[in-house]
Amino acid sequence: MEELRLPEWRERLLRLLCFALVAALILYFFSLAADVLLLIFAGILLATLLHGLARLVAVYAHLPAPLALAAVVAAVLVAMATTAYLLAPHVSEQLSQLVTRVPADFHNILAPVERTPWGKALLQAFPAGGTGSGRGVMRGIFGAASSTFDIVAALVIAGFLGLYLAAEPATYLAGGLRLLPPGRRQRLRVTAEEIALTLRWWLVGRFLSMALIAAMTSIGLSLLGVQLAITLGILAGVLTFIPYVGSVASAVPAILIALTQNREIALYVVLLYVGVHVVEGYVLVPLMQRKMVHVPPALTLAAQALLGALFGVLGSALATPLAAAALTAIRLLYVEDVLNDDMRRSVL
């Protein structure tokens, strides 16, 4: 093999260093703006759902696109207002009891453990240590959502961002594509549309699972006589948005409350949560799988662990749709374009 001439070697090294510098700058930018970028992705996620619903209304109701979007937004707001009117009195009272009771119940359950030598040694591993460790752990758990203003502001920003993107998706997509090489614009347009379709079907599957799990959990807890059944069921449905991790987290308050009532009831609560999520994983998901997106469990957990460690709760919540979007882009831009594998149902 002919040796590289010195100028050519220097040129390649310079290109490599420039590439590494640009990559480092991009990563540094992403680390600084991670929360903002995740919030933008949440807005894009909402926009794909609203735009998809608006297209359905436009086709079946023969309405112009702006009126169809307005009808969808109005229907969503009316549904939310109706649900709040019917459930708010019960849920707000139960929620206040839940926030008050869970830390106290957690401490009461830990009290006998703290009196044993092994229990003291175990609980001293927590920063608060000793008798106050139970309260310290619960403060750490509930402290993650302590800033109500920040949460509301983030929801408002994501909501308006999603609304504006859903109103004129073609404008924003065309503007973004103009920044790219002309020869790649059409393929990247197809990729963006495919990612939007993937995210839309993923959201439909998630919302159906959330609604069904909330209903089944509320009914099951009510039949078992567990207090705060409606709120615990809604909590289970909401946390199901984060696959696997949310399912486990939603069961903790219900089990703690059941333990203060009766240990046998607590065992039935554990079986109820396991049964509900088995039904979801082995009955509901396979039935919806033909159209809706399924991200492999190992990849889902890996994405949640990585983004959760890097970006906190918001990273964990958006890890699965980000993974679904990334898999779609990899399939189109690498598997099909680079490897020339045209299989629509590849491993990815």
pLDDT at site 154:
78
pLDDT at site 272:
92
Summarize pLDDT for 82-104 with one digit per residue, the tens: 877 766 666 666 666 666 666 66
pLDDT at site 300:
80
pLDDT over 70, % of the chain: 72
pTM over 0.75: no
Over residues 247-267, the mean pLDDT reads: 82
**pLDDT greater at residue 38 or residue 117:** 38
pLDDT at site 296:
76
pLDDT at site 287:
64
Over residues 2-15, the mean pLDDT reads: 63
Mean of the per-residue pLDDT values for the chain?
77
Distances (CA, A) of 253 to 77, 98, 304: 30, 8, 22
CB within 8 Å of 138: residues ≥ 6 apart: 102, 103, 106, 107
pLDDT at site 35:
79
Residue 63 has pLDDT above 80, yes or no: yes
pLDDT at site 112:
63
Q: Which of 288, 105, 127, 326 is nearest to 210 (CA)?
A: 288
Summarize pLDDT for 115-172 with one digit per residue, the tens: 666 556 655 655 444 444 444 444 444 444 445 566 677 788 888 999 999 988 888 8
CB within 8 Å of 107: residues ≥ 6 apart: 134, 135, 138
Residue 196 has pLDDT above 60, yes or no: yes
pLDDT at site 248:
82
pLDDT at site 332:
87
Give dist(CA 69, CA 142) in Å, integer: 37
Domain ranges of the chain: 34-167, 187-348
Residue 37 has pLDDT above 50, yes or no: yes
Give dist(CA 236, CA 241) in Å, integer: 9
Residue 189 has pLDDT above 80, yes or no: yes
pLDDT at site 67:
92
Residue 278 has pLDDT above 70, yes or no: yes
Find the DSSP H helices in the chain: 6-32, 34-61, 65-114, 117-123, 133-143, 148-167, 169-177, 185-224, 229-239, 245-261, 263-279, 285-288, 297-311, 313-330
**pLDDT greater at residue 321 or residue 242:** 321
Neighbours of 344 (CB within 10 A): 6
